[in-house]
Structure 1
Amino acid sequence: MAKPPLSMKPTGWYQVAWSDEVAVGHVHTMKYFGEEMIAWRAESGRVTVMNAYCEHLGAHLGFGGKVIGEVLQCPFHGWQWNQEGRNVCIPYEKRPNRGRRITTYPVTECNQSIYIWHDTDGREPFFDAPDVFASFADGSSLDDYYPQQRLYVPGRELHPQYVLENGVDFAHFKYVHDTPIVPVFTRHDFDQPVSYVDFTITFEGDENQSIDDVDSGVEAINGGLGIAVTKSSGMIDNRTISAITPVDESTSDVRFMVYIGRPTTERARQNAERAERKAQEFGAEVIRQFQQDVHIWSHQRYSDPPALASSEMQGFTAIREWALRFYPDGKGGSAARLAAANLDS
């Protein structure tokens, strides 16, 4: 498959692990943005993500590295590195090597996930990772939902922007997910690094119904190109998180999470076992539908400029212009070329 003409090192927050994969004292290995990395959790509970190799003689800290309190000890010669990547102890010397530092990444934990801030220019984070509960400011919390259901698809040949563009692609719902009618978008807000997309949608009924009679929909919050969270209304209460993280110059890891709301009626609560089983089934269906998208993204070629229909122009132009801000060179697909193309074939 042709490599997309998009940088695989966009700026933003990206998931590198789930929180429960990095217990206190554990060292977790991974590779993202072409770098071997580790995540380790100190005794205080703080997670550090850094490049994997000791600056002394290059030992990989993920293979035998030991967490001691708030520092990580190299398995080769016992050099200790703190949460800022600085050497704080050489056990056979009187002082540490203050001139060497392992690259570390800003870290945040939410959505039961560990995210790092990636920026090739070394800038500090300029927006927050969206939280699937707090960002909607509706008073909801983890306690209101059944345990998270997850999908992990490693090493697919796709770009994070494919997934974000899916959020404005109203036409695909009918043909990929078998919705009876095409949804209608009611909000596109791409003014800030965190963007908002709302749409009316239904998965029930038939194609003869009117969209004006549909009272269900989805609100989506996109935190850069790496994280999108959604909240449903007017249907089974569910929240989702999609997280796409570049591994190297051609592949990304895909993570998708679903929360299903706990029952609110007394009758449903009395039959807790049945309610939980139905929640598991519905969560599995949400994941299945996301897998349908992953299958297409994994074999997609980035089209620039795309041959859009006139009704698609506004959404795709807006999201591609918005996406430009996350690329180091400001080139993520030309909105100017998109606008100039003959889109009404």
Structure 2
Amino acid sequence: MQGEQLAVFRGQDGQAYVVDAYCPHLGASLAAGGRVVGNCIECPFHGWQFQGEDGKCTRIPYAEKVPDFASIRTWPSCEVNGMLLVWYHREGVGPTWAVPEQREVATQEWVFRGQTKHLVDAHIEEIPENAADAAHLDFLHGTAILGGSDLRYSKSRLWEFMKHRWKGEWCPEPEPNEHCSQLLLLHSTSIFGKHIPALDLKVSVRQVGPALVFLILEHAFLGRGIILQSVTPLEPLLQKVVHTIYYQKNMPAVIPKFLLRAECLQFERDITIWNNKQYLPKPLLVKEDSSIQRHRRWYGQFYSQKGTGLPAQEGLDW
């Protein structure tokens, strides 16, 4: 939904509403100086008021009558897991699935412990496709987190004493959740070649739709929590990625903050690749890359059939 300008406000009823930013009268921005009046947003230019629920204009201070056709566009949205999410469909189709609520976040068993934001210069599909690219895990993310995210130094001999190992298997979910996919990641660490069980980590990853990911973290004695990843397209090849962590409130805050920092260091290694690579609609794949092809078929459901962005598929049989 790049190029769309939206205004977001919370009405007197406590409901969050998302509407087009510009007043249809003379184009003033409701998001810059607009005022909430009841469940309406008031234009700062002439005081026209629009309902958040259906966008209808309910008041024009200087007019005897409000035209029946006076309204602004409203956008389907939901508040879940501490996020306000907006539904967008190129053909204007309404929501066909709902974002699941994470029980521990809703009940505040897990509490907010931090957030990071990154800009990525890449095709939007590159980011979720990582889940199906098992081959890159040990190669790009195998060296010690202490090696940082600068790929010129991450494989330095200084950090060879410590290695990360990743095992992951990606698969799409069946109906009625065909818009979701699953990845189970098992992480282990060895120091001087010796496996350290205390550092083992299980990450259950669930992608919901094209740009929302739930990463549930489970550690033997450091507890459980979740990192929520959202990807918002700002331009065709510019994505804003936000990571938000919620963690067991009985655990010291330093633990989830460290886990979030570690995850983002690894993510920044991917960003270095994404920011400097090309998106190939017909990549050269080998049979061991079959999950990438499966992921592209699965992700293809989120492209408009009337659009031009549907990626081409390439076979692996040769």
TM-score normalized with structure 2 length: 0.81
SS at match of 2:164: coil
Structure number with the higher strand fraction is: 2
Query: What does residue 295 of structure 2 align with?
Result: 319
2:32 matched to 1:47? no
| Greater relative CO (CA pairs within 8 A, separation 6+) | 1
Which of 207, 222, 243 is the equivalent residue of 1:222?
207
2:245 matched to 1:258? yes
Give the letter for the 1:233 counterpart.
Answer: E
Query: What does residue 189 of structure 2 align with?
Result: 204
Deviations 1:228-260 (A, max 9, x none): 112133454231111111123332221111223
Identity %: 22
Output the CA distance in 2 between the equivalents of 1:302 and 1:142. 41
Give the direction of change, closer, same or farther, for the CA distance of 1:227–1:146 in structure 2 (3 Å limit).
same
* 1:200 Cα offset (Å): 4.0
Output the CA distance in 1 between the equivalents of 2:210 and 2:275. 17
Which of 247, 271, 287 is the equivalent residue of 2:264?
287
Output the CA distance in 1 between the equivalents of 2:105 and 2:69. 47
Give the direction of change, closer, same or farther, for the CA distance of 1:184–1:37 in structure 2 (3 Å limit).
closer
> Does the CA-based 8 Å contact 1:108-1:115 persist in structure 2?
yes
Give the letter for the 1:295 counterpart.
Answer: T
Output the CA distance in 2 between the equivalents of 1:109 and 1:203. 35
Unaligned stretches of 5+ residues in structure 1: 1-8, 10-32, 264-271
> Does the CA-based 8 Å contact 2:20-2:73 persist in structure 1?
yes
Output the CA distance in 2 between the equivalents of 1:76 and 1:143. 41
2:184 matched to 1:181? no
* 1:309 Cα offset (Å): 2.8
Deviations 1:284-338 (A, max 9, x none): 222322233233223331122222232221x112211111111112652123xx2
Deviations 1:37-86 (A, max 9, x none): 11111122211112111000111111111111111111111111111221
2:90 matched to 1:120? yes
> Does the CA-based 8 Å contact 1:81-1:88 persist in structure 2?
yes
Which of 54, 77, 80 is the equivalent residue of 2:49?
80
Give the letter for the 2:42 counterpart.
Answer: Q
Query: What does residue 242 of structure 1 align with?
Result: 229
SS at match of 1:114: strand
Please provide the CA RMSD for this pair: 2.7
Which of 61, 70, 73 is the equivalent residue of 1:100?
70
Output the CA distance in 2 between the equivalents of 1:300 and 1:128. 33
* 1:199 Cα offset (Å): 2.3
Query: What does residue 334 of structure 1 align with?
Result: 312
SS at match of 2:187: coil
Give the direction of change, closer, same or farther, for the CA distance of 1:66–1:91 in structure 2 (3 Å limit).
same
> Does the CA-based 8 Å contact 2:113-2:257 persist in structure 1?
no
Give the direction of change, closer, same or farther, for the CA distance of 1:242–1:304 in structure 2 (3 Å limit).
same
Output the CA distance in 2 between the equivalents of 1:250 and 1:279. 31
> Does the CA-based 8 Å contact 1:245-1:254 persist in structure 2?
yes
* 1:87 Cα offset (Å): 0.9
Q: How does 1:148-187 map to 2 (within 5 A)?
A: 148-154=113-119, 156-178=120-142, 180-185=164-169, 187=171
* 1:177 Cα offset (Å): 2.0
